[in-house]
A and B are shown apart, each in its own frame.
Chain A
């Protein structure tokens, strides 16, 4: 045992005044009695009968000296050397991924991990420091390089694990930064394993504290829909990560109504696939595992899928015949293309997008988005044509999403029309005039290509389908967002509002609303931490329009695989679980303080015995 602040032991000198005060004891209270005859007899008796009674007054002194000793020792902060890994500059990586929500350790693995950190904090030496990094979807430094144990405990008091995968690479980068510049740095990984294999080596001694005992877990590892000839079909994949065969009830709800329940048996380390034919019009599918034996991770027992046809735009291609355009529009997703000749009456049916290829515009032009290729010199309210030019060497490309990934360097054009449209921006400008213009006019988006495709080699370039896709996308965007089927918690979603959208709202699974002004071309929605179904709502001047839903699921094999690893492979080194033989310091001053308090109560009781305590008389 040694002391951290031995100078406080000098307070032990306070014993002298205490003893002095006892010597100069307070004057006794004087009380008149009718006679002291009996009292004097009594005193003689006591002194004769019970010698320890004489010490009784000194018992108080003894207790007070004990209290002082306990307090002084507590102030001096004594400690016992204990074997510990928490010495030097300790960087703790606390796994906060979904697998840490497993309940094989009561109450959860994450709570057990926090308990481990608290133990490390308790053993932290006086000249050691600790940094705690929470390793979740986005690793974060909870508290950096401090010896303040209260602050350290405070930092981890209220954190929880997230149902997401952990970004260990980023966490290792943080840990490397935190450990840099310290010669005695030490990284402690508190995890249940599941670290990726290709992690960079850490520049410090590394220890691993495994959390968890069991790997038993039944998980929904995939839930997806597809369209077949017979209608929509649901596919679910159930994975048993454990070492025991498992049986469970798999329930499927469609739009909140129970559709089917199946008892499934999944052998150990195996996967069972189930399919259903769904009725038409199904939107939200929820699959849930219940009644399973030995399942320690509840977060992957439920999954959602959204089966929405999406928005399919109808496009009318008005042309005398253009193979390139027809073929491109035949394969563009989200577009149902129809072809019409210029003689036909265009007003019979309404389309989302009109493509005029080398034909005259109808008068009036349709009130819809338009792609006008090789406009014809006739009167219309949109633009004026003042001639043709052949000086088509490109001098400027606008920085526009329409030209994203478009390589214009090899495009050659024989001739183009001189077009003036004040509402439009020039996207591609040649020496002689604009080649592509785009803009908004009277609430519709219009793109004009001033040249005939057959007068250029653009359709032969790789740039052509990209350009057409970009233009079509801009003209009539499909869904407001595009998410892959297996969107993981924490992964961002790009939401593309329409031209008239003023704000984008997302209703999260916990019914909270995320809202953002639709200022940019696209918005990044990042708050996908909760698994579940998200509803995207676009607000424009006319009101709020639902723009579809998407599902976030924990389809992550490594998080569902909750069997704790015995060792970690980091770089070339194997990190074992045994703590190394360093010496930490376990302080025990709180116990001394508690002892002093207890002694104080005893002293009080000894002093007041008889006056305050009930005095039972036997008669």
Chain B
């Protein structure tokens, strides 16, 4: 699977991931820190207090006003970017060659966001979430690692179950450097995801959810007397489908997404519902920009 061509990569290199609330950088990076620092970019003045580094006193101002002011400069630092991809069996939908296949879409998206992060000098960690076996790539920096990221992503398979709560809690506890965390998942998880989000936020992560659903999940083309079998859990549901039931289902999907959105809004979590028939370039270049995750 070739994730990107050259032109797309160049386009992606123009973009930068944005984290509003995460302010803990460990290395000099390309991004402004909330900490006042040692860069050449001017930020503010403040009154001199005893013990301040005299090197940072603005002598020109002192000469004019005869009062000492300390010049505050911007600190530039890097960002820890965490990309979490749900690789449960439910992501293996619909057919793997279908352009709306959720896992492929998720991997492309991960690759794109990862490339953006690497090319802006951020620290990137990519994790494929799965209850059986979680695989992590990183943390790495530098654009040169993009190819290795893509090779890693190409090995990803969707199988088994993913208990998001469990996986996210574990991820939070593993104590890496908190930063911007984007979870790419269909959120079809038996035990929910909220506890996991809480745990991540408690550790100081800025969390975003990219909620992937394929078109036939939002508007199923099914009818008749059916026994629906869950790809992930194997559970079945007997249902007689007709137009009114399908209407009801569509309403349910809407309500579900609205509910997640309002929960996320309350918890300051970015929530981006995506149907996989939306071209991923558009998602990255437009939707994420509009939502303020990318600039």
Q: Are A42 and B252 in contact, with the CB atoms below 8 A?
A: yes
Which chain A residues lie closer than 8 Å to B90 at the CB level?
34-35
Q: Tell me the count of chain B residues lying within 8 A, CB to CB, of chain A.
A: 41
Which of A30, A41, A609, A613 touches B252 (beta carbons < 8 Å)?
A: A41
Which of A33, A43, A45, A57 touches B229 (beta carbons < 8 Å)?
A: A33
Which chain B residues lie closer than 8 Å to A57 at the CB level?
240
Which of B190, B224, B226, B249 touches A38 (beta carbons < 8 Å)?
A: B249
Which of A31, A43, A610 touches B227 (beta carbons < 8 Å)?
A: A31
Known A42-B249, A610-B243; contact A31-B225, beta-carbon cutoff 8 A: no
Q: Tell me the count of chain A residues lying within 8 A, CB to CB, of chain B.
A: 27
Which of B67-75, B231-239, B285-293 contacts its partner?
A: B231-239
Which chain B residues lie closer than 8 Å to A609 at the CB level?
242-243
Main secondary structure on A side of the interface with B? mixed
Which of A26, A33, A46, A615 touches B228 (beta carbons < 8 Å)?
A: A33
Which chain A residues lie closer than 8 Å to B77 at the CB level?
none
Q: Please, what's the 1-or-0 string for A34-58, where 1 marks a CB less than 8 Å from any CB in chain B?
A: 1111111111011000000000110
In the bound complex, how far is the Cα of B188 from the Cα of A33, in angstroms? Answer: 11
In the bound complex, how far is the Cα of B91 from the Cα of A144, in angstroms? Answer: 82
Q: Are A38 and B252 in contact, with the CB atoms below 8 A?
A: yes
Q: What are 16 A-B contacts defined by CB distance under 8 Å? A: A28-B225, A28-B238, A29-B226, A30-B226, A30-B236, A34-B91, A34-B217, A34-B230, A38-B253, A39-B249, A41-B256, A42-B245, A42-B249, A42-B252, A609-B243, A610-B243
Which of B92, B240, B253 touches A56 (beta carbons < 8 Å)?
A: B240
Does A611 have its Cβ within 8 Å of any Cβ on chain B? yes
* Besides the known contacts A609-B242, A610-B245, 15 further A-B residue pairs in the complex with CB atoms under 8 A apart: A29-B224, A29-B226, A31-B226, A31-B228, A34-B90, A34-B231, A35-B231, A36-B229, A38-B252, A39-B228, A39-B237, A45-B252, A46-B245, A609-B243, A613-B243
Main secondary structure on B side of the interface with A? mixed
Q: How far is the CB of A151 from chain B (nearest CB, A)?
A: 48
Where the two chains meet, the residues of B that have a C-beta atom closer than 8 Å to any C-beta of A are 90-94, 102, 186, 188, 190, 214, 217, 220, 222-233, 235-246, 248-249, 252-253, 256
Which chain B residues lie closer than 8 Å to A38 at the CB level?
217, 249, 252-253, 256
Q: Are A35 and B227 in contact, with the CB atoms below 8 A?
A: no
Q: Are B252 and A34 in contact, with the CB atoms below 8 A?
A: no
Which chain B residues lie closer than 8 Å to A39 at the CB level?
228, 237, 239, 249
Q: Are A611 and B224 in contact, with the CB atoms below 8 A?
A: yes
Q: How far is the CB of A54 from chain B (nearest CB, A)?
A: 10
In the bound complex, how far is the Cα of B186 from the Cα of A56, in angstroms? Answer: 33
Which of B232, B235, B239 touches A34 (beta carbons < 8 Å)?
A: B232
In the bound complex, how far is the Cα of B220 from the Cα of A37, in angstroms? Answer: 14
Which chain B residues lie closer than 8 Å to A26 at the CB level?
225
In the bound complex, how far is the Cα of B249 from the Cα of A29, in angstroms? Answer: 19
Which chain B residues lie closer than 8 Å to A35 at the CB level?
90, 186, 188, 217, 230-233
Which chain B residues lie closer than 8 Å to A197 at the CB level?
none
Which chain B residues lie closer than 8 Å to A29 at the CB level?
224-227
Q: Are A40 and B237 in contact, with the CB atoms below 8 A?
A: yes
Q: Are A610 and B244 in contact, with the CB atoms below 8 A?
A: yes
Interface centre among A31, A35, A39 (most CB of B within 10 A): A35
Q: Are A32 and B186 in contact, with the CB atoms below 8 A?
A: no
In the bound complex, how far is the Cα of B236 from the Cα of A277, in angstroms? Answer: 107
In the bound complex, how far is the Cα of B242 from the Cα of A611, in angstroms? Answer: 7
Q: Are B230 and A33 in contact, with the CB atoms below 8 A?
A: yes
Q: Are B248 and A46 in contact, with the CB atoms below 8 A?
A: yes
Q: Please, what's the 1-or-0 string for A562-593, where 1 marks a CB less than 8 Å from any CB in chain B?
A: 00000000000000000000000000000000
